[in-house]
Chain A
Amino acid sequence: MKRSILAIVVVAMAILAMACGGKQTKATGTTARLLTDATGIDDKSFNAAAWRGILSFYGDTWEKPANKGKLYDVVTAQTQDMYIPNLKQASDEKYDVVIVTGFTWADALGQVAKQYPKQKYMIVDVDWVGGDNVMQVVFSEHEGSYLVGVAAALKAQADGIKDPKFGFIGGIPGPVITKFEMGYIQGIASVLPKAKVVDYYANDWGKPELAKAQAKNWFDSGVYAIFSAAGGTGNGTIAQAKEYRSQGKNVWAIGVDSDQFQDGVYSADGKSAVLTSMIKRVETASSYALNQAKAGTFKGQVVVLDSKADGVGFSDKNPELGADITAKVNAAKAKIIDGSIKVIPTYAEAKAAGVVPANLQASDK
């Protein structure tokens, strides 16, 4: 009995201490908290990008986050059941903007956002949470994918490949990955209207062996470049392209989300098997939300970050892409921005418009 009372007292004190700890005085200015999933901010991907966006808003750098702890901080949820507690805690502590990355947070955010109608939230890659206090940022992946498609096709043309084929490897089929595939195919077709495109969905984000086997299969049958939008599965494509390029075959992998040039380096002199990467700038999303909050124009709405907003783009880091092709791809980008090129994001519409083959495995659902 005594022991249980003692336990209750200890727990109560601990809670009190935590509650007090939360009420530290804050410096003036827009405040932000980033909530990440278990991978944390050094995942070299989504979370890292969101963090970079916050850092740049405050004029800090990765190595020297001077204002961290004063104006912004980050909390990593080790498990999914911490999502709601972490969201509530951040809301109780009244940060100006609470930023979460990725769709895994959508359900938790949907619940908490209703309970704290005054708190501003931002989420990336989701457009179905709703609410006046939730800014949802989505990207025009089809536009960035169009650009890498153009780059791959131009490179095949420049290399004088006869009858080049192109491959697309997706993770789990769905509307977001379909945007990648549709943009890529339309980009290729804008340069080589007759080029054949093959596609494959691994139904998994973490099975590189499937992508590697398919990449070998395709490369052997005359596919020139493969674009993978498949998370970790796509590493298999890069692995096969590295192997073949090191053996002197002229084939390429195309990276996704961040610049995967470094992942593709296969020789001591720094040659990379990743021709280009479709870049999705999640950092633009977090700095955009913070700028809106600072200016007092933050609204609960779906924000589309397209080429115009510099939300998507392509990487010109690989010197083998060449200045000529880079210039042409940039010209295509300018046309997307001024509206003279329209990239169709859904399979149904693209099929109806006749710009993609009718037997793809893409899915709009």
Chain B
Amino acid sequence: MSSVLGMLPSVLMMVAPILIAALGGMIAERAGVTNIGLEGLMGVGAFAAATSHALLESSLPGSVWFALLMATAAGTLFSLVHAFASITLKADQTVSGTGINLLSIGGTVFLCQIIFKQERTEPYKLGMMPGPGGIYPTAWIALVLLGAIWYLLYKRPMGLRLRACGEHPAAAASAGIDVYKARYLAVLASGALAGLAGGCLVLTQTIQYTNMTINGAGFIALAAVSFGRWTPKGVGGASLLFGTAVALAIYMVNIEALRRLPPEFFSVTPYLITLVTLVIFSGKDYAPKAVGIPYEKGAS
């Protein structure tokens, strides 16, 4: 069978969407808003990308890139619901995020019914094609975003302000920071990134959007946020570890000596590796202090 190195494009294909969505989740949480809705936002993005690509593929050159744009826009728009509920209305962030997830599945399938008269989008002819080395451009998108977000969060004043809103919003407000605005921006950014991630996922991994397309990738991204200790470096490492573990499990199936093991073993491996790493690297609580708590102007 082919070499382990040959799996690299597959690893990056799986890592890219998880990493992009996790970066979004990290931004929201650093500003103090949990975004359980990553899964749903990815679904909306995947639906938008698959729909526009299936419809425009034959008439618009570079329709893949337009599709990613649509995915980003759809994710941003949909995350407004979460921002409004959890920031303006001070609703429970977990409930609002769960709502996003439920609404996403129902809403996208409903739109598929209207547009395509079936439960899923039409299959497109070709998704995103791999570049040099068989690596999909989504990997480079993820890498650029990782660098850019690290720079914005740690090297720019706006990043400092955003992080302050997640640690001690009242103190941030007393320093003249508009907490609502910062949190809104963070949630919309997480929506944009999750939508983009969904678009990347659907265009590189499958042939159409169905209600099963995301299938937990958003929750894995969410786990990568806390596993990565809410830092870009950590989130990048966590996503890469998980993607590699999945690819390794796929690769191991082809090794003759390991074939006596039951197939379930290979499916459990990535989660097992993640869990073990989590235990090894566990320590103090790294979560932003005010994450998940709605900010009330003037209170305390």
Residues of chain A whose beta carbon lies under 8 Å from any beta carbon of chain B: 39-40, 42-44, 173, 198, 200-210, 212-214, 216-218, 220-221, 232, 235-236, 238-239, 242-243, 246-247, 262-263, 265-268, 359, 361, 363
Docked Cα-Cα span, A239 to B266, in Å, equals: 23
Taking a contact as CB atoms under 8 Å apart, the answer to whether B259 and A359 are in contact is: yes
Contacts of B123 in A (CB 8 A): 262-263, 265
- Size of the chain B interface, CB-CB below 8 angstroms: 44
Q: Sort A-B residue pairs by CB-CB distance and give the 4 closest, nearest first.
A: A206-B212, A213-B10, A203-B267, A208-B206
List, sorted by A's number, 14 A–B pairs whose CB atoms are closer than 8 Å. A173-B263, A198-B254, A205-B212, A206-B210, A206-B212, A206-B213, A212-B10, A212-B205, A218-B1, A239-B127, A265-B123, A265-B125, A359-B259, A363-B263
Taking a contact as CB atoms under 8 Å apart, the answer to whether A217 and B126 are in contact is: no
Taking a contact as CB atoms under 8 Å apart, the answer to whether A213 and B7 are in contact is: yes
Taking a contact as CB atoms under 8 Å apart, the answer to whether A39 and B119 are in contact is: yes
Taking a contact as CB atoms under 8 Å apart, the answer to whether A242 and B126 are in contact is: yes
Docked Cα-Cα span, A61 to B14, in Å, equals: 43
Taking a contact as CB atoms under 8 Å apart, the answer to whether B246 and A203 are in contact is: no
Contacts of B130 in A (CB 8 A): 243
Taking a contact as CB atoms under 8 Å apart, the answer to whether B250 and A217 are in contact is: yes
Shortest distance between the CB of A49 and any CB in chain B (Å): 14
A-B pair count, CB < 8 Å, reads: 117
Say if the beta carbon of B208 comes within 8 Å of chain A.
yes
Shortest distance between the CB of A279 and any CB in chain B (Å): 18
Shortest distance between the CB of B135 and any CB in chain A (Å): 12
Docked Cα-Cα span, A166 to B266, in Å, equals: 21
Contacts of B282 in A (CB 8 A): none
Taking a contact as CB atoms under 8 Å apart, the answer to whether B246 and A210 are in contact is: yes
Output the nearest chain B residue to A48 by Cβ-Cβ distance: B118
Taking a contact as CB atoms under 8 Å apart, the answer to whether B212 and A200 are in contact is: no
Contacts of B256 in A (CB 8 A): 359
Taking a contact as CB atoms under 8 Å apart, the answer to whether B119 and A44 are in contact is: yes
Shortest distance between the CB of A210 and any CB in chain B (Å): 6
* Other A-B pairs beyond A216-B6, A220-B2, A232-B212, 8, CB < 8 Å: A40-B119, A205-B212, A218-B1, A220-B6, A235-B207, A243-B130, A263-B208, A359-B260
Contacts of B113 in A (CB 8 A): 42
Contacts of B127 in A (CB 8 A): 239, 243
Shortest distance between the CB of B39 and any CB in chain A (Å): 13
Taking a contact as CB atoms under 8 Å apart, the answer to whether A235 and B206 are in contact is: yes
Taking a contact as CB atoms under 8 Å apart, the answer to whether A200 and B13 are in contact is: no
Docked Cα-Cα span, A243 to B205, in Å, equals: 11
Taking a contact as CB atoms under 8 Å apart, the answer to whether B207 and A238 are in contact is: yes
Binary A-proximity of B104-130 (CB < 8 A = 1, otherwise 0): 000000000100011110010111011
Shortest distance between the CB of A174 and any CB in chain B (Å): 11
Docked Cα-Cα span, A308 to B247, in Å, equals: 42
Q: Which of B6, B7, B205, B246 has a CB less than 8 Å from the CB of A208?
A: B205
Binary A-proximity of B197-240 (CB < 8 A = 1, otherwise 0): 00001000111101011010000000000000000000000000
Binary A-proximity of B5-16 (CB < 8 A = 1, otherwise 0): 011011001100
Q: Which of A43, A207, A212 has a CB less than 8 Å from the CB of B215?
A: A207
Taking a contact as CB atoms under 8 Å apart, the answer to whether A217 and B207 are in contact is: no
Output the nearest chain B residue to A262 by Cβ-Cβ distance: B123
Q: In the complex, which of the residues A173, A213, A236, A243 has the most CB atoms of chain B within 10 Å of its own CB atom? A: A213
Docked Cα-Cα span, A203 to B265, in Å, equals: 10
Contacts of A208 in B (CB 8 A): 205-207, 213
Taking a contact as CB atoms under 8 Å apart, the answer to whether B1 and A217 are in contact is: yes
Q: In the complex, which of the residues B2, B118, B129, B250 has the most CB atoms of chain A within 10 Å of its own CB atom? A: B250
Docked Cα-Cα span, A238 to B126, in Å, equals: 10
Contacts of A246 in B (CB 8 A): 126, 129
Docked Cα-Cα span, A202 to B212, in Å, equals: 15
Contacts of B201 in A (CB 8 A): 209
Taking a contact as CB atoms under 8 Å apart, the answer to whether A201 and B263 are in contact is: yes
Output the nearest chain A residue to B203 by Cβ-Cβ distance: A239
Taking a contact as CB atoms under 8 Å apart, the answer to whether A214 and B119 are in contact is: no
Docked Cα-Cα span, A39 to B120, in Å, equals: 10
Docked Cα-Cα span, A359 to B261, in Å, equals: 10
Taking a contact as CB atoms under 8 Å apart, the answer to whether A200 and B253 are in contact is: yes
Contacts of B267 in A (CB 8 A): 202-204
Known contacts A42-B119, A216-B10; is A267 also within 8 Å of B125 by CB? yes
Shortest distance between the CB of A62 and any CB in chain B (Å): 11
Say if the beta carbon of B264 comes within 8 Å of chain A.
yes
Taking a contact as CB atoms under 8 Å apart, the answer to whether A232 and B250 are in contact is: no
Taking a contact as CB atoms under 8 Å apart, the answer to whether B119 and A239 are in contact is: no
Contacts of B9 in A (CB 8 A): 216
